Structure 1
């Protein structure tokens, strides 16, 4: 199995429905990359009486790169660009790979770029032969 990234989206003051809509929007953009899959993160069965089959973690996505997939750079770059298009809003995307976390949001563009470069370098080195 290839690398998997857990993404957790949030927007200050947003209702769960808004966060889910943002997650769907980001998912569509991520699917345009050469990734194996992008899916909502489920937490088991939905509460009794709801129409859903599984309970979904609000704003959470699982990105599977696959064994021959791209390095994480394009994925994290897309997330960074997605956030910058709404920089006037207080949005955050938490990226997690094997317990290593990168929080995108609330930093200057320069600081965010530096953090992204370090994170991508660290994880790109893990997949090189």
Structure 2
């Protein structure tokens, strides 16, 4: 079964208790089946969890119940990351996403939303979009 695991949301309550919350939305290659998509989403969550972040959790929807016919694209394609106040974590998150996208030849995209401000990263465009990505980082880190 093939399907696109894309989800968009305007999740914006991002600064509670000093933590900045980032909504990541994975739009995985539509040629992938749901099992491969779920594996890739888990891999990305694990890589992000290795950073100095407060928390990493799936977006709305939660885990797929036993016996379900397929993964809910909202549960599969959305990741909420809470970043602490320590400097450099947001930049490290962006670099992790760039690296994750760069390791695959598939047509994946990742959208980041902070306080209603969204930027979309794609493998092919990561190098050519360095200036807009750097401007996005500066807007949300104050540097």
Shared fold (TM-score greater than 0.5)? yes
SS in structure 2 of the partner of residue 12 of structure 1: coil
Aligned: 1:121 with 2:142: no
Q: Which is richer in helix?
A: 1
1:8 aligned to which of 25, 30, 50 = 25
Aligned: 1:81 with 2:90: no
Confirm or deny: 8 A CA contact 1:34 1:70 kept in the other structure: no
Residue 67 of structure 1: how far off its partner (Å): 4.0
Aligned residues: 120
Q: Which is richer in strand?
A: 1
Residue 118 of structure 1: how far off its partner (Å): 1.2
TM-score if structure 2 supplies the norm length?
A: 0.71
Counterpart position of 2:53: 35
Residue 106 of structure 1: how far off its partner (Å): 5.6
Residue 70 of structure 1: how far off its partner (Å): 4.3
Counterpart position of 1:110: 127
In the TM superposition, what whole-angstrom CA distance separates every residue of 1:77-124 from its partner, at most 9, and x where no partner exists?
A: 1101110111x2101011111111010016434323222211101111
Structure 2 unaligned regions, length at least 5 = 1-16
Matches of 1:38 and 1:30 in 2, distance apart? 7
Matches of 2:90 and 2:132 in 1, distance apart? 14
Confirm or deny: 8 A CA contact 1:37 1:65 kept in the other structure: yes
Counterpart position of 1:25: 43
Structure 1 unaligned regions, length at least 5 = none
